[in-house]
Amino acid sequence: MEIVVTGRHTQIKQRFRDVVESKMNRVTAIAPDAQRAQIVLTHEGNPRQADTAKRVEITVIAGSTVVRAEASSTDEFSALDMALDKLTLRLRRTRDRRKDHRRGYTNPVPVDLGVITPPEPEEEAEPEEPNNSPEAAVASDLGPGESVEVQVGDTPIVIRRKLHIAEPMSIDEALYEMELIGHDFFLFVNKETGRPSVVYHRHGWSYGVFEIDTPENVKK
């Protein structure tokens, strides 16, 4: 499995790389078909956020399946451990659902995945003079996998925009994708209606769906 470690607003030390490589056998033990693991370490410079100064994001790609987890802590090693705990739990769920699917069992959460474009690794570059306005975060055109991040003035507000390319999928498939990446919502294109839609977690096993359309299309 290819392991890629990158940093945002921080330099990656060799010790952290060594620890990452030694711990990633937890992933291959559960998902031997995993092809790539991307680990991104982010440093939060705001002293008021010292308890979450280090954030580790792990993305594992196995075929068309993308599983993601992240965690924050005071140091990168504890954040890595917490993120790995979340990731391995989601990998086990994926493995068990595949087994149930092959045996013909039904499950309230679907196991089929839409096609997902794997994220490209992000290299830390020397920052240019920022254009600190919300408009700057949404004005430029983005390619697949590209992102832009802008801090608004002297405030702690950061706007991040990223373009994802994905095939239209069903609501059940979108729910499963949301569970895999560990978010409370998931944006997708509903293949039944062709509309941009959002599934979101409400409480317990309750979910909601928003669909967006224009007045002109609704009248047709």
Higher pLDDT, 211 or 16: 16
State the number of CA atoms in the 13 A half-sphere of 188 facing the CB. 26
Higher pLDDT, 196 or 112: 196
pLDDT class for 96, splitting at 50, 70, 90? confident
Residue-averaged pLDDT of the chain:
78
Q: How does pLDDT run across 138-193, given as a tens digit for each residue? A: 556 666 666 677 777 777 777 777 777 778 888 888 887 787 777 788 888 999 88
Question: For residue 105, is pLDDT > 60?
Answer: no
Domains of the chain: 2-101 (3.30.160.100), 143-211 (3.30.505.50)
Rounded Cα gap, residues 90 and 95, in angstroms: 9
Predicted pLDDT of residue 13: 93
Cβ pair 134, 148 in contact under 8 A: no
Cβ pair 139, 131 in contact under 8 A: no
Rounded Cα gap, residues 194 and 217, in angstroms: 11
And the tokens for 99? 């087994």
